[in-house]
Chain A
Amino acid sequence: MKNRTCLGLMLSCIVSVGCQDLNDAEVKQKGLIYCSEGSPVTFNPQLDISGTTADAAAHQLYNGLLDFDPETSKVIPALADSWLVSEDGLTYTFQLRKDVQFHQTDYFTPTRPFNADDVLFSINRWRLPSHPYHKVSGGIYPYFESLGLQDIVAEVNRLNGYRVEIKLRHPDSSFLATLATDFAVMLSAEYADNMLLAGTPELIDSQPIGTGPFKFEHFRKNNYIRYYKHPDYWNGEVYQEQLIFDITPTSSMRLAKLITGECDVIAFPAQTELRIVDQRQDLVLDEKPGLNVGFWAFNSARPPFDDPRVRRALAMAVDRKALLDAVYSDSAVASKGLLPPTSWAFDENQREIHYNPALARQLLDEAGIKRGFRMNIWAMPVQRAYNPNATKMAELIQSYLDKVDIKADIVSYEWATFRRLLKQGMHDSVLIGWSADNGDPDNFYRPLLSCSAIASGTNRANWCLPKYDELINEALRYTDEDSRMHYYHQVNELLVEQMPLVPIAHAYRFQAYREGIIGMQINPFGGIRFGQVRKEGR
């Protein structure tokens, strides 16, 4: 009998193929499938700076006090209705939004809406080492630590249930932007207390509760993440009953699934696949200049790269225009400096270094670099928007360096090892890049080249110049853009002289999805958001 049912099913399967239309509008309306590139490490963006975690958690599960407008990149209200900054720039007062409900799930039922206690909990968790939750899930908050924010914030006070005051030790004009990043999310203090009582505090990061448009349902590592709609979401109606992250690490596989309709939206279409997406009628390709920079950094902790003349010479020896054409195939703009043209602090008239192999050789001779000098170029093993093919770029650079009689060896390791050895400073030079977390120019200058960024591992050049740090710190003391620009121009000038890294390109960000998906926006920085996305019936 069993066999017969089984055979019957198989037969009906064969018969059904072709005559049954799978894409029944009604059911498919109920969910959106996003093919993402990897499994998140945690569901708390405070704990991890990788884009994968930000995509899976930041805008789906949580909200911050503030947010960025994806169009203008300006800071806009989110869980904080309004805010005041004191004259001296040291005290920030936030008025919180009322009636913001936390998620209700199988594992937690909130008894109260979002209030000041949650703000205190969320900020104190990463700020105070003595906080009961500080050490939970590793106790490392990389984003805040790379900015040194735990030392900048002096106190966080509850004025009343819906008013919070944050005091800083010294003025920091990027503070509001920092609070609007993916990492400054608001957790539930009530849930945290419950978990602490139950003796399972670490669950707060793996079974998350937030105020975002979707609530967490299930995660199977390397397989999928399932979210359900948060019915009481404060910021407009959520259109999708479900949101599913179908974890598909291979880029070609994601494209294939997009074509067959198994994904509605895919993460990171590869450069080579863009044309296919563009040509198909049923797929949409959006592009937007991204806030990122791909660069070639010299390890200034190692001689002879501690000599600015050598770094300048190497920068001159390479034709960056050719690199751009060969590697990015029309999907990037050439860099003038660290900042992309979309940043408000971008300097149109910035001085650049031009391709000049003869002068490069001359400078090298002056610096005492012998002909036939050997150095290595580390090429990162993964694709990133800011550098889709580091190995190819390294090969091109190798051939350019050959013309000025420098022999370059290309080095690459598996990604985790690569990053570890890079942090230890084992490289002479490296091809890597940076994607901004917020729209503030400080987010480029500080993590990439400040002295404190050497310790947190984002300063790939291991370059430390007190004058540079002074200038970027000075820029943060002013809130108006013109005064800050003034300092950033000086910083740019300094960087051209010093050339700790050679900026190469600012890549576009691409987004591919199926026709009929409405409301997808490219976020120039930070994680993807699905709260306002809906599907139209076919």
Chain B
Amino acid sequence: MFVYLGRRLNLLFITLLILCIASYTLAFLFPGDPLTNLSGNPTTSDDQTQQLRMMYALDNGYIAGFWQYLKLTLSGEWGQSLTSQNPIFSDICQFLPASLELSLYAMAVSLLIGIPLGIVAGLNHRRYTDMGILSVSLIGFSMPVFWLALLLILVFALQWGGLPMSGRVSLIYDIPHQTGFMLVDILRADIANKQQVLMDALHHLFLPTLALSIVTSSLVIRLTRRSVINVMGSDYIKAAYAKGLSRTQVFWHHGMKNALLPIMPQLAMQFTVLLTNAMIVEVIFSWPGIGEWMIQAIYQRDFPAIRGGMLAVSALVVIVTISVDLLIRMIYPLSKKQLHAQV
């Protein structure tokens, strides 16, 4: 286990290092002055320029420069945005939780819907139930998420009314920013009519979460179904039936765990897909998350912000992937052989 842990942490470290190298290189590849791309400070005076060059060690070659960049990045000094002049790191800290929040809820909903439906479909292999669920999931799977989001707005917000189509909570409510997770912030905030604000936030969450989880649920359904079919056709299940166990007993005692286990890593991987989708959905629902923030940065050619956003999102994806992997291995220790084979 420790060897495995070491390997994974090693992988994490190296991947993050490569990401840092990539983001540092970006500063030189983007059009414009690398110094401005790094610091986000459109320097006016020579003094200031000199000071910033010192800070980023730009005159000491790429290696020293990168080392300096790494130190600054680790200390949270990510430069500032060209357009708003806000520190990028604090901007990211503000916007990233909104994306995370949305993705987490969408993931929870997808699992909640996807796994039971997948199991039902798998157990009724080649019957009408199976085909029904499969076709619905195929439809959900084939819809582009941005189109689906627009459709949901059209139907639920504009046609039927009642559901909001933008933002996280009505701007009427002034929720102080604490953790960045809206529901948590509301619960912790010192405001009257908390109940009502919470309801409002949930209303705002509904459509984006739905748009995201329809696509992901379809994937979860298909994964679960396939795995259940495989397991239910295996020899030990046949043996269990032969022992005289009922269908329910066989599934709950022998099928369920064995079916879900192999797809756990794949389910966890859906989180990264989800995060990507979330960034698209954010733009449509004006959800103030990292996706919308980065799109704005791209529109405005805000290179320091693009660089910072890219680094933050990719680092997050890498960290989530590796930690989920570790977690699963800790909960379900597999044979050593498999460990080595599946890196």
Contact = CB atoms under 8 A, between A and B. Distances in A.
**A and B bound?**
yes
Contacts of A260: 157-158, 161, 163-165
B108 A10 contact: yes
B108 A7 contact: yes
A12 B84 contact: no
Contacts of A31: 171-172
A242 B174 CA distance: 10
A198 interface: no
Contacts of A197: none
A226 B174 contact: yes
Interface string B29-52: 000000000000000000000000
B83 interface: yes
Decide if the interface of chain A is mainly helix, strand, loop or mixed: mixed
Contacts of B166: 248, 253, 257, 262
B325 interface: no
A274 to B, nearest CB: 17
A6 B172 contact: no
A1 interface: no
B342 interface: no
A16 B199 contact: yes
B222 to A, nearest CB: 22
B324 to A, nearest CB: 14
A13 B206 contact: yes
B84 A6 contact: no
A253 B286 CA distance: 10
A419 B19 CA distance: 40
Given A20-B199, A30-B172, A262 B165 contact: yes
A20 B167 CA distance: 19
Nearest to A15: B202
A256 B196 contact: no
Q: Classify chain A's interface size.
A: 35 or more
B77 interface: no
A401 interface: no
Contacts of A12: 202
B171 A244 contact: yes
A262 B170 contact: yes
B146 interface: no
Interface stretch (A217-225, A474-482, A518-526): A217-225
Contact of A27 (B112, B162, B193): B193
B163 A17 contact: yes
Contacts of A24: 196
A246 B161 CA distance: 20
A344 B104 CA distance: 62
B165 A7 contact: no
B183 interface: yes
Contacts of B105: 6, 10
Interface of B: 83-84, 104-105, 108-109, 112, 153, 157-158, 161-167, 170-172, 174, 183, 193, 196, 199-200, 202-203, 205-206, 209, 286, 288, 296
**9 nearest CB pairs, A to B:** A13-B202, A31-B172, A244-B171, A260-B157, A221-B84, A262-B164, A260-B165, A224-B171, A17-B206
Given A13-B202, A14-B206, 5 more contacts: A7-B112, A13-B203, A20-B203, A259-B158, A262-B166
Interface of A: 3, 6-7, 9-10, 12-14, 16-18, 20, 22, 24, 27-28, 30-31, 33, 217, 221-224, 226, 242, 244, 246, 248, 253, 256-257, 259-262
18 contacts: A6-B105, A10-B108, A10-B109, A16-B202, A16-B203, A17-B162, A17-B203, A20-B203, A22-B164, A27-B196, A30-B172, A226-B171, A248-B166, A253-B286, A256-B158, A256-B165, A259-B161, A261-B161
